[in-house]
Chains A and B, each alone.
Chain A
């Protein structure tokens, strides 16, 4: 079965630095990969989607890369702010299935 791995340890960084989160997957060939933000006690919120034929996607301070050879996606937040502190989840889908498989998420703490 498919397996999605995100670093379970929290990532602690200083305000203004770039945060980089990793999502690795196995036994799977996703058509696209998504990143979501989840705040405590709330539902995840969609941030970015990247397709398998795209190497990089940007949205404001966010950047996602997708390496289908390494089976890995990197999620970057530049010029991080304390308000960016949250848990970030990656999710995978596959052609014609419309099922979303989520990783366990990585908690990001941005300190002022």
Chain B
């Protein structure tokens, strides 16, 4: 079945550590996205990529980094520079062009301990 897979589902990080969240899709989509969701808030865009080897900062990119070496993969690294990393992280993909819907993974809940 085609879809988008995030792993792990739950992740615990110690203060000062970098952690990497995985996102893989087999939908042959060019565009991929990372969002952060906090309780009672909407999805905020961290980074997005419309093509391999290219990506752009979203609204809250500070403290995060990404790579897009393969079309299927868009990993997100939460660095120690991110001051408040505890949140629900969602990866999505879509085709490019008009009238595209986003397909989301099941999310990764990151907790700093």
Q: How many residues on the A side are at the interface (Cβ–Cβ under 8 A)?
A: 27
Tell me which residues across on chain B come within 8 A of A105, comparing CB atoms.
Answer: 42
B-side interface residues toward A, CB under 8 Å? 6, 31, 33, 35, 40-43, 45, 48, 50, 58, 88, 90, 92, 94, 96-107, 109
Tell me the complex Cα distance, A6–B48, Å: 24
Min CB–CB distance B104 → chain A (angstroms): 3
Known: A43-B90, A98-B100. A89 touches B42 (CB 8 A): yes
Min CB–CB distance B84 → chain A (angstroms): 18
Contact B48 A91, beta carbon cutoff 8 Å: no
Contact A100 B102, beta carbon cutoff 8 Å: yes
B42 touches which of A41, A46, A103 (Cβ 8 Å): A103
